[in-house]
Structure 1
Amino acid sequence: MSNVKILLLAAGSSSRMGRPKQLLPWRNTTLIEHQINILLALNFPVTVVLGAYSNEIQEHIKMKPITIFTNRNWKDGMGSSISFGLVEMLKKTPTFDGVCVALVDQPLLTKSFLMKMIDSFNVTGKHIIVSSSKDNIQGPPVLFPSVYFNELIKLKGDFGAKQLIREQANKIKLVFGGDELIDIDTQEEYNKFFDKI
């Protein structure tokens, strides 16, 4: 079994939602607590990067068996939070095999899908494991081998690791996630899926 760590990005201001999406009610808890619970079920270390509303959000998750970092430069975008989070993780544990980057606003993800990603990674440990939706949209969660850590640390702006994934197109493996990969950005999207849970 590979030594994998999980990086949950929860630093955004939820500008399209109009309120902190991290704290939206979801299955008798909050969106971020639900997501953390799913990730903890994998039995890999979980690190959460906060930014906007960090003090308020920490009150909800501080008792979880996770590591929490606050990115003071969260306004610089997702790339900044990936870079910041990975640097902090490497300070605590200088070597590990891979990092799975997950987002706080994909509440339909299941433990079984995430385990499929990790199982795929365990086969070679060399490929980037990328989620693929039913519309063939490729994106998070993404599991990066350690060979890409230096590239992740260089990330800036709000584009995350999309460019890196495009550049390494011949070194990725896709794992089909279907509707599990839907993310929630607006109140309308939240209302639509909240009615189904």
Structure 2
Amino acid sequence: MPPLPTDPTDLTDVTGLVLAAGGSSRLGRPKQLLPLGGATLLDATLSVVRRCGFGQVVVALGGAADEVAATVDLSGVDVVRNPGFGAGCSSSIVAALPSVAPSSRGVVLLLGDQPEVTVAAVRAVAAAGGDLAVCRYADGLGHPFWLGRGLFGELANLHGDKAVWKLVDAAGDSLATVPVDGEVPADVDTEADYAALLARWDR
């Protein structure tokens, strides 16, 4: 396993992988394009990701991909289109893996509809080492996840929507959990989720 950098803020040898391919079936409109903070929900998430200092950022698109690509600021990121996005989040991971830079020691997995993830959480989980680490919030485990390069072979064979969580469950005592302040960042699946996010965002 490559040595960890002595500076935990140095993520130049890490890829940030943002999953933003969902079809927004429960919401009924592309969640990536929901207005937030003068831009879109996905823009807000990418704003956090850009502040992390990743050596590479990969964004997986699927549902409404053309509209998302035309609306969201995707400058400086590598875009992967996943035509099989309906098969679940794991299909986007599988689609994105070939685009991960050979120099990356692993990826930090983020969800495009979680703009309240913090830079501190990203840096903490990336510094955990090993092949699999997750954030431990006050109310449970959550994203972002660390997926080391040693896990890529297994990731390439994932299937289904909760496949990464199955890896977490199967890891048992070998799972690295990183304490992070606050509660698990909310994602946006419904209009109620969006309304709650807007209320927090405007405070």
**Any idea what SS the aligned residue of 2:121 has?**
helix
TM-score normalised by structure 2 residue count = 0.86
1:117-164: CA deviations, max 9, x gaps? 223x2xxx215220223222x232101111111111110121231111
Amino acid at match of 2:191: Q
Tell me which residue corresponds to 2:75: 64
The 2-side partners of 1:43 and 1:133 are apart by 23
2:188 matches 1:184:
yes
User: What percentage of residue pairs aligned between the two structures are identical?
Assistant: 30
Tell me which residue corresponds to 1:98: 106
The answer to whether the 8 A contact 1:10-1:50 is kept is: yes
Which structure dedicates a bigger proportion of its chain to helix? Answer: 1
Tell me which residue corresponds to 1:37: 47
1:27-79: CA deviations, max 9, x gaps? 12101011111101111111000001000000123552101010011111111
The answer to whether the 8 A contact 1:139-1:162 is kept is: no
Amino acid at match of 2:115: P
Q: Which moved more, 1:46-55 or 1:165-174?
A: 165-174
Tell me which residue corresponds to 1:84: 95
Q: 1:165 aligns with which of 153, 164, 168?
A: 168
**Any idea what SS the aligned residue of 2:177 has?**
strand
The answer to whether the 8 A contact 1:82-1:160 is kept is: no
Tell me how large the CA RMSD over aligned residues is: 1.7
2:119 matches 1:116:
no
Q: Mark the runs of 5 or more structure 1 residues left unpaired by the alignment.
A: none
In the TM superposition, residue 17 of structure 1 has moved relative to its aligned partner by 1.0
Structure 1 runs (4+) greater than 6 angstroms displaced:
none
2:151 matches 1:143:
no
The 1-side partners of 2:103 and 2:175 are apart by 22
In the TM superposition, residue 95 of structure 1 has moved relative to its aligned partner by 4.3
The answer to whether the 8 A contact 1:108-1:180 is kept is: no
Tell me which residue corresponds to 1:154: 157
TM-score normalised by structure 1 residue count = 0.89
**Any idea what SS the aligned residue of 1:183 has?**
coil
Amino acid at match of 2:40: T
How many residues align? The count is 189
